[in-house]
């Protein structure tokens, strides 16, 4: 099993940074987790793909989220749940 390493993904937050959508509602909802090198590679690839899409698609919806739809919009939790259930 690969050793997990700690990497900071989010930036410092203020009360204004807590999202209004269906993200964490309070600071207590934020978690620190350890990621494998492969997990970090996947996140880096997604971030790079989003940057590329933003720079080449004038209709791209700019977001600070990593996992978004193919137009850059946020993935709603109900859609994600349906997709995960189909994949079983």
Query: What's the pTM?
Result: 0.57
The CB-based long-range contact list for 16-23 (8 Å cut-off, 24+ gap) reads 21/74, 22/76, 22/77
**38-88 pLDDT, tens digit each:** 988 999 999 999 999 999 999 999 888 888 888 998 887 777 677 777 776
Tell me, letter by letter, the H, E, C secondary structure of the chain.
CCCCEECCCCCCCCHHHCCCCCCCCCHHHCCCCEECHHHHHHHHHHHHHHHHHHHHCCCCCCCCCCCECCCCCECCHHHHHHHHHHCC
In sequence order, what are the beta bridge partners of 49? none
């Amino acid at each position: 099993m690969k050793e997990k390493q700690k990497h900071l993904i989010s930036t410092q937050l203020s009360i204004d940074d807590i999202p209004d959508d269906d993200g964490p509602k309070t600071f207590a909802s934020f978690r620190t987790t350890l990621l494998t090198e492969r997990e970090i590679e996947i996140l880096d690839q997604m971030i790079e793909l989003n940057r590329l899409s933003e720079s080449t698609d004038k209709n791209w919806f700019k977001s600070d989220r990593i996992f978004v739809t193919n137009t850059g919009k946020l993935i709603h939790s109900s859609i994600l749940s349906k997709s995960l259930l189909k994949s079983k």
